[in-house]
Amino acid sequence: MTDSRPPRWAESLLRCSLSKADYEVVSGDLLEDFQEAGGDPGAVSQYSRQAIIAALRLGLARRGLITTGCFLVLAMLWLAVMALRHPPYLMHVTLAAAVAVNCLLSINAMCGLAPKSWPVARAGLLAGGGLGVYGFVANLLASDFEGYIALIGAVLVAQAILSLVATPAVRVQY
């Protein structure tokens, strides 16, 4: 076993993209595996690959889901108010409320407040992605293009994609 250190750039990536609690756990586990492997080139490659995966799943995707969730909750509130001007009111308001509630579920899961709700939230986010594709395409083909509908549709699709790689936070009870 050697005293070599894992790549600095990989440690920096973890430090920049993960919360402090996640960083301590992930970097500790990766460092332990790295040292057990003897720090050889294969261990460096494995450490780097695992650091990138952790940064994407635990850091960037989680933050992306929280950000898109907050945006969509506000957008759905606005859309529900605007839907009151155009029939069918009930369908539009119900759809906006369902998307907003699902976004709140995913935000809670990503923040570690309700990680057990993640399978339900993920299913809803994937359905929302389908809704986003439909809304985006229907808007492009419509005679009157609405930019806000295109933006909401694109964010719904992005949120569905992020839900495939994100891992919810787990709160540790002391």
pLDDT above 70 covers a percentage of the chain that reads 95
d(CA 62, CA 116) in angstroms, rounded, equals 16
pLDDT for the residue 72: 97
pLDDT for the residue 21: 83
pLDDT for the residue 171: 57
d(CA 12, CA 66) in angstroms, rounded, equals 22
pLDDT for the residue 52: 93
* Residue indicated by tokens 């996640």: 22
Instruction: Tokens for 57, please give them.
Output: 């799943």
pLDDT above 90 covers a percentage of the chain that reads 60
pLDDT grade, residue 170 (50/70/90)? Answer: low
pLDDT for the residue 13: 92
The crossing angle, in degrees rounded to 10, of helices 8-17 and 20-36 is: 150
pLDDT for the residue 41: 84
Yes or no: say if 127 and 95 are a contact pair by the CB < 8 Å rule. Answer: no
pLDDT for the residue 1: 46
pLDDT for the residue 174: 45
State the pTM of this model: 0.79
Q: What is the mean pLDDT of residues 57-73?
A: 92
Q: Is the pLDDT of residue 116 over 90?
A: no
DSSP 112: T
Q: What is the mean pLDDT of residues 99-122?
A: 90
